[in-house]
Amino acid sequence: MKKLIAIVATVVFLPAAAMAETFDDAFDMNRAMHGKGYTFTWSGKQYSTDHLEEVEARVAATKENAEDLIAKAKAKNAEVANVGFEWKLTKGILKDAEAAMVSGDYRKALDLAAQAKYHARIGLEQHAYAENNWHLSVPQ
């Protein structure tokens, strides 16, 4: 039975792995399939499915580290708000992060701040895409 499962998994997942032509494709596919904390191989090198902000939040759960990451998340969110691509839910996540910090749950504060910073970074990527591809929205 185990051999059958391994064969089926190889037949199903190997073509998907071969289709990942870019690193972003490989990362997105592995993140979707395995979640955070998974190590995958692309072009002969190993990578993690963790977002940069998740790695940044992997510090000691102290008040100072939580304050620092919350400040960085707020700065990144202000940056994306300045270009008009702020996500509506990010301010709420930042408030929750601050509340967790005040209550002494520094791990939760770090994780929420990382999530807010990630949303801001993706908002900036959306802005850059819109700036570079605005012409696709214009009828011909």
Per-residue pLDDT of 76-135, as tens digits, reads 999 999 999 999 999 999 999 999 999 999 999 999 999 999 999 999 999 999 999 988
- Alpha-carbon gap, residue 60 to 114, rounded angstroms: 14
pLDDT of amino acid 137: 84
Smallest CA-to-CA distance from 40 within 31, 97, 92, 117 is with: 31
Amino acid at site 60: A
Mean pLDDT of the chain: 89
pLDDT of amino acid 134: 87
Per residue in 78-92, pLDDT tens?
A: 999 999 999 999 999
- Alpha-carbon gap, residue 18 to 71, rounded angstroms: 40
Amino acid at site 57: A
What does R_g of the chain's alpha carbons equal in angstroms? Answer: 19
- Alpha-carbon gap, residue 103 to 92, rounded angstroms: 16
pLDDT of amino acid 66: 98
pLDDT of amino acid 2: 57
Confidence grade of residue 11 (pLDDT, cut at 50, 70, 90): very low
Confidence grade of residue 20 (pLDDT, cut at 50, 70, 90): low
Residue 65 has pLDDT above 80, yes or no: yes
Where are the chain's structural domains?
2-50, 54-136
Q: Phi, psi at residue 41, to the nearest 5°?
A: -110, 130
For the stretch 4-22, what's the b/e string if a residue is b when 16 or more beta carbons lie within 10 angstroms of its beta carbon?
eeeeeeeeeeeeeeeebee
pLDDT of amino acid 4: 47
